[in-house]
C-alpha cells in the first residue's frame, strides 16, 4: 500500500494511492490521469491528418487556409449559415459538428509542406518591407512565427 505524504482536507485519515484511485478517502474524486505526450505538439500533433480523414484532404486544406491557427467554437447542430459550412460545405461541416460539436476546435496551420510554403512567402513579404502584422495576416502565420523568421533572416541562419 502506497502512502501519500502531506495533509489533505479533513486531515486525520490515512490516505493511500489505492483509496484515491477508488475515489474514496478525502471525499474528493481525483481527476482522471491522462497520458503525457512526448511529442512537441501534444495530443493535437495529428489534427490535420484527423481532419483529412474526416472531411477529405481538399476540404481540410480549405479549412486550414481560412481558419488555420484559430480556435473555433463548433456548435452541436451546424446551421447552414455558419462560416464553417460556407467554407467547406454543409455536409462536411456537419461531420465536424458530429465529431467536435459543443467544443472548441483548434484548426491546425497545416501539414509541414503547407507550413513551409507559408514561411517562404512570409520571407518574401518581409524582404519587400511589409510589417510583421501584415505578413501574419497575409500568410495565416502567427506574428510570433513571423518575428522568428525575421530574426533568422537578419542573422543569416
The mean pLDDT of the chain is 76
**How is the chain split into domains, by residue range?**
45-106, 112-155
Q: Which stretches of 50-124 are assigned E, i.e. beta strand?
A: 71-74, 103-106
Rounded to whole angstroms, how far apart are CA atoms 62 and 38? Answer: 30
Q: Is the pLDDT of residue 107 over 50?
A: yes
Rounded to whole angstroms, how far apart are CA atoms 112 and 38? Answer: 19
Q: Is the pLDDT of residue 21 over 50?
A: no
The angle formed by the CA atoms of residues 27, 33 and 39, to the nearest 5 degrees, is: 160
Task: Name the burial class of residue 149, with classes exposed (0-12), middle (13-18) and buried (19+) by CB atoms within 10 angstroms of its CB.
Answer: buried
Among the listed ranges 41-50, 54-63, 114-123, 143-152, which one has the minimum average pLDDT value? 41-50
Q: Encode pLDDT of 32-70 as tens digits.
A: 433 333 334 444 446 888 899 999 999 998 998 888 878
Rounded to whole angstroms, how far apart are CA atoms 132 and 138? Answer: 10
> 155 and 83 in contact (C-beta within 8 Å)?
no
Report the pLDDT value the prediction gives residue 142, as an integer from 0 to 100. 86
C-alpha dist (Å) from residue 123 to 67, 81, 95, 112, 137:
21, 36, 36, 16, 14
Report the pLDDT value the prediction gives residue 43, as an integer from 0 to 100. 47
Q: pLDDT band at residue 113, thresholds of 50, 70 and 90? A: low
Q: Is the pLDDT of residue 3 over 90?
A: no
Top-confidence range, 27-36, 58-67, 119-128, 139-148: 119-128
Among the listed ranges 22-26, 35-39, 121-125, which one has the minimum average pLDDT value? 35-39
Average pLDDT over residues 84-111: 91
Rounded to whole angstroms, how far apart are CA atoms 84 and 22? Answer: 43
Helix (H, G, I), strand (E, B) or coil at 3: strand
Amino acid at each position: 500500500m502506497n502512502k501519500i505524504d502531506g495533509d489533505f482536507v479533513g486531515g486525520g485519515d490515512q490516505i493511500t494511492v489505492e483509496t484515491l484511485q477508488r475515489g474514496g478517502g478525502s471525499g474528493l474524486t481525483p481527476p482522471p490521469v491522462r497520458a503525457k505526450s512526448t511529442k512537441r505538439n501534444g495530443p493535437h500533433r495529428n489534427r490535420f491528418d484527423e481532419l483529412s480523414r474526416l472531411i477529405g484532404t481538399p476540404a481540410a486544406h480549405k479549412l486550414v487556409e481560412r481558419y488555420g491557427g484559430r480556435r473555433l467554437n463548433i456548435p452541436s447542430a451546424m446551421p447552414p449559415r455558419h462560416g464553417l459550412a460556407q467554407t467547406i460545405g454543409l455536409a462536411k461541416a456537419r461531420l465536424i459538428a458530429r465529431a467536435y460539436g459543443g467544443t472548441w476546435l483548434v484548426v491546425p496551420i497545416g501539414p509541414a509542406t503547407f507550413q513551409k510554403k507559408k514561411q517562404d512567402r512570409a520571407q518574401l513579404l518581409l524582404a519587400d518591407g511589409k510589417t510583421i502584422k501584415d505578413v501574419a495576416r497575409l500568410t495565416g502565420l502567427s506574428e510570433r512565427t513571423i518575428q522568428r523568421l525575421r530574426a533568422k533572416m537578419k542573422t543569416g541562419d
